[in-house]
Amino acid sequence: MTQTPSLAQAHHLRPFVLGLPKTELHLHIEGTLEPELIFALAERNGIQLPYPSVQALRDAYQFTDLQSFLDLYYAGAGVLITEQDFYDMTMAYLLRMRAEGVRHVEIMFDPQTHTVRGVDISTVFAGLARALREARDSWGLSAYLLLSFLRHLSEEDALVTLEQALPLREAYLDLWIGVGLDSGERGNPPEKFARVYERCRTLGFRLVAHAGEEGPAEYVRNALDVLQAERIDHGVRSEEDPALLQRLIHQRTPLTVCPLSNLKLQVVDELDQHNLARLLRLGLCVTINSDDPAYFGGYLVENYLATAQALNLTAPQLATLARNSISASFLPDARKLALLDELETYCQQYYAESQAMPQ
Ligand SMILES: Nc1ncnc2[nH]cnc12
Ligand SMILES: [Zn+2]
């Protein structure tokens, strides 16, 4: 079968990307719930789904914007009831990351999606943590948790959620290192959450926030200025503000970009129109991530490969993206340096052994 050059290229890069030491920094654990698992958990918990089959549910994944996705995503998360459910979801994701050569993950979770249904926040923490610690102890995949506030709800609700979670902090000190802000961006600007972020900063949490996915570049600015976010989730609309771009470059503020998500949610019409390569060439600390892989058609490696294919990225550019993912993580410096060393050794060997030399 003849392949288009771009398909041949992406296929050719798969072993390289699989072996690259890399991290995933923008991942909603509720977005890893595959339709099969949604059905299995629904049955286990005696929940009736409004879809006759797994395939019918999968077929419903046709999104026109962020909100059309969020409606389905919050409904899907409704099957999560017990600690075992949260464990099963998380372990399924971690096993995939093991197969994809991922060394560290920073996982967002939305407690409000669960507490509003009567699920105790301690049940959520316990299920996620059991899987994360098992992965760390069994195959050395490290993980951190970022508790994310839902921006379509009030700041008071976020503050209440933080207070519900704080008594658990001691028990999960090895995992829960920061907070994030997600859900519908339009009309819910960062400054709405100024007080809760200030409190989190005082408490010593690391701070990230979604901004500039559907919302304007101004939201990225305010995430930096008002929330003091250290990393911006998405941030692709920063390109509309040249001064902001210069600032992101100068400060080396990482952007956790999610190409297949942007395609599925129609942030871009086609992947070859994505600005990731431009941002990378300008010198921004861009990373590739999967966001909600069960809904957007690909986990981390597929995001690397689809982007490489659409934007003609070379192996050295993919290595830069993986290098950025390590630098932009909240890992201690010593672990970052060890992973970066491994990455350089891996790339040198790969370039030497293959024809995939830097172009
Ligand atoms: N892409 C996204 N943007 C905002 N909130 C989300 N929650 C899950 N995925 C999200
Ligand atoms: Zn996201």
Query: At residue 130, does pLDDT exceed 50?
Result: yes
Q: Is 210 known to sit in a ligand binding site?
A: yes
Cβ of 264 less than 6 Å from ligand 1: no
- Rounded to an integer, the average pLDDT of 193-212 is 98
Tens digits of per-residue pLDDT, 323-340? 999 999 999 999 999 999
Query: At residue 4, does pLDDT exceed 60?
Result: no
Which of the following is catalytic: 213, 214, 230, 302? Answer: 213
Cβ of 261 less than 6 Å from ligand 1: yes
Cβ of 291 less than 6 Å from ligand 1: yes
Domain of 268, CATH number, reads: 3.20.20.140
Ligand 2: centre distance to CA 210 (Å): 7
Ligand at shortest distance from the CA of 267: 1
Tens digits of per-residue pLDDT, 281-329? 999 999 999 999 999 999 999 999 999 999 999 999 999 999 999 999 9
Query: At residue 355, does pLDDT exceed 90?
Result: no
Inside any domain, residue 257:
yes
Nearest CA to ligand 1 atom 4: 183
Contact criterion met (CB below 8 Å) for 76 and 33: yes
- Rounded to an integer, the average pLDDT of 188-212 is 98
Nearest CA to ligand 1 atom 6: 183
d(CA 323, CA 335): 13
The angle formed by the CA atoms of residues 29, 90 and 31, to the nearest 5 degrees, is 25
Determine the longest span between alpha carbons in the chain, in angstroms.
59
Inside any domain, residue 291:
yes
| pLDDT on residue 263 | 98
Ligand 1: centre distance to CA 10 (Å): 27
Inside any domain, residue 359:
no
| pLDDT on residue 11 | 82
Inside any domain, residue 121:
yes
Inside any domain, residue 98:
yes
Q: Is 291 known to sit in a ligand binding site?
A: yes
- Closest CA relative to residue 301, chosen from 314, 291, 312, 288: 288
Cβ of 182 less than 6 Å from ligand 1: yes
Atom of ligand 1 nearest to the CA of 292: 9
| pLDDT on residue 354 | 83
pTM: 0.96
Tens digits of per-residue pLDDT, 237-268? 999 999 999 999 999 999 999 999 999 999 99
| pLDDT on residue 119 | 98
A 10 A CB-CB count for 137 gives: 9
| pLDDT on residue 137 | 98
Inside any domain, residue 317:
yes
Pocket test of ligand 1: the residue of 210, 213, 214 to mutate, having most ligand atoms within 8 Å of its CB, is 210
Query: At residue 160, does pLDDT exceed 90?
Result: yes
Inside any domain, residue 358:
no
Contact criterion met (CB below 8 Å) for 263 and 232: no
d(CA 143, CA 189): 29
Number of domains in the chain: 1
Tens digits of per-residue pLDDT, 39-91? 999 999 999 999 999 999 999 999 999 999 999 999 999 999 999 999 999 99
Query: At residue 204, does pLDDT exceed 70?
Result: yes
Inside any domain, residue 227:
yes
Ligand 2: centre distance to CA 17 (Å): 22
The share of the chain scoring above pLDDT 90, in percent, equals 95
Q: Is 292 known to sit in a ligand binding site?
A: yes
Query: At residue 193, does pLDDT exceed 50?
Result: yes
Q: Is 26 known to sit in a ligand binding site?
A: yes
204 contacts: CB under 8 Å, gap ≥ 6 = none
The share of the chain scoring above pLDDT 70, in percent, equals 96
Query: At residue 3, does pLDDT exceed 50?
Result: no
189 contacts: CB under 8 Å, gap ≥ 6 = 215, 218, 219, 222
- Rounded to an integer, the average pLDDT of 206-227 is 98
Residue 202: give the domain boundaries. 5-352
Nearest CA to ligand 1 atom 5: 183
A 10 A CB-CB count for 59 gives: 11
Q: What 3 state SS string does the chain have?
A: CCCCHHHHHHHHHHHHHHHCCEEEEEEEHHHHCCHHHHHHHHHHCCCCCCCCCHHHHHHCCCCCCHHHHHHHHHHHHHHCCCHHHHHHHHHHHHHHHHHCCEEEEEEEECHHHHHCCCCCHHHHHHHHHHHHHHHHHHHCCEEEEEEEEECCCCHHHHHHHHHHHHHHCHHHCCCEEEEEEECCCCCCCHHHHHHHHHHHHHCCCEEEEEECCCCCHHHHHHHHHCCCCCEEEECHHHHHCHHHHHHHHHHCCCEEECHHHHHHCCCCCCHHHCCHHHHHHHCCCEEECCECHHHHCCCHHHHHHHHHHHHCCCHHHHHHHHHHHHHCCCCCHHHHHHHHHHHHHHHHHHHHHCCCCCC
Cβ of 292 less than 6 Å from ligand 1: yes
Told to judge if 43 belongs to the known catalytic residues of this protein, a careful annotator would answer: no
ipTM topping 0.85: yes
Ligand at shortest distance from the CA of 107: 2
At residue 358 the predicted structure's pLDDT band, cuts being 50, 70 and 90, is: low
Q: What average pLDDT does the structure give for the chain?
A: 96
